[in-house]
């Protein structure tokens, strides 16, 4: 966390977020069996400052397979095979904007352009999905997003699935007209509302309407 920018550290000082994070990290006894690797737990925060966030996409918890989670929701490194949800995101990107992203699994460049891909739980036990869901990460992430919302009324939310919607509905500060909602990109719900939802073009249209630079989803 010492590598984070002054802006993030100042935000974390508010609402006791910093202390909450320290309390959660103390619950992790052995980082060798935790994903993402210790140095990547806060990676998404290292790639962008709060004031530069334009779009927020909420994931649930990190991938629990070896070498998958890299600190960015839905993203994995290019050394591993894309998980099903990420493949489906790329399928819809191809359908929506005719962009082929299948050879680049790392979504760092989306984050650098303003797309904050944040999981509501930042750590997971190897091979055990949702194993850290009761650690308090959801409370911390909700506090962080509330602070971002408070300072920027133009944030666009792209909510994939009911879990992301539940997190959004718990916010104190929110602008309901800047929300895109669809089913989750997982194989269980891809055909039930994510396919043909066209989130990427919708986000860019919203950004144009508020005179912001659009996202180049190709990178």
Residues 45/8, Cβ–Cβ less than 8 Å: yes
Q: Would you say the C-alpha torsion 204, 207, 209, 211 has a positive or negative sign? A: negative
Enumerate the active-site residues: 61
User: How far apart (Å, rounded) are the C-alpha atoms in residues 204 and 96?
Assistant: 12
- Can you list the alpha helix ranges (DSSP code H) found in 98-195? 108-112, 137-151, 162-169
The two tokens of residue 192 are 């039930």
Q: Would you say the C-alpha torsion 116, 122, 126, 131 has a positive or negative sign? A: negative
Residues 57/110, Cβ–Cβ less than 8 Å: no
User: How far apart (Å, rounded) are the C-alpha atoms in residues 70 and 48?
Assistant: 15
Q: Which residues contact 44 (CB under 8 A, 6 or more apart)?
A: 71, 72, 73, 111, 116, 117, 118
Q: Which residues contact 175 (CB under 8 A, 6 or more apart)?
A: 149, 153, 154, 155
């Amino acid at each position: 966390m010492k590598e984070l920018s002054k802006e993030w550290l100042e935000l974390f000082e508010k609402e006791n977020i910093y202390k909450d994070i320290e309390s959660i990290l103390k619950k992790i006894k052995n980082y060798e069996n935790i994903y993402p690797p210790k140095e990547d737990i806060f990676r998404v925060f290292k790639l962008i400052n709060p004031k530069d966030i334009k779009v927020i996409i909420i994931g649930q918890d990190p991938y629990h397979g070896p070498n998958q989670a890299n600190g960015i929701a839905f993203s994995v490194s290019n050394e591993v095979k894309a998980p099903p949800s990420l493949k489906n995101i790329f399928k819809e990107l191809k359908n929506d904007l005719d962009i082929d992203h299948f050879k680049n699994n790392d979504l760092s460049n989306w984050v650098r352009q303003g797309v904050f891909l944040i999981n509501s739980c930042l750590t997971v036990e190897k091979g055990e999905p949702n194993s850290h869901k009761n650690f308090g990460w959801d409370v911390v992430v909700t506090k962080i997003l509330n602070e971002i919302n408070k300072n920027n009324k133009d944030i666009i939310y792209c909510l994939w699935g009911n879990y992301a919607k539940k997190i959004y509905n718990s916010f104190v500060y929110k602008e309901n007209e800047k929300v895109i909602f669809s089913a989750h990109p997982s194989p269980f719900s891809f055909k039930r509302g994510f396919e043909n939802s066209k989130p990427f073009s919708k986000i860019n249209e919203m950004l144009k309407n508020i005179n912001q630079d659009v996202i180049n989803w190709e990178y």
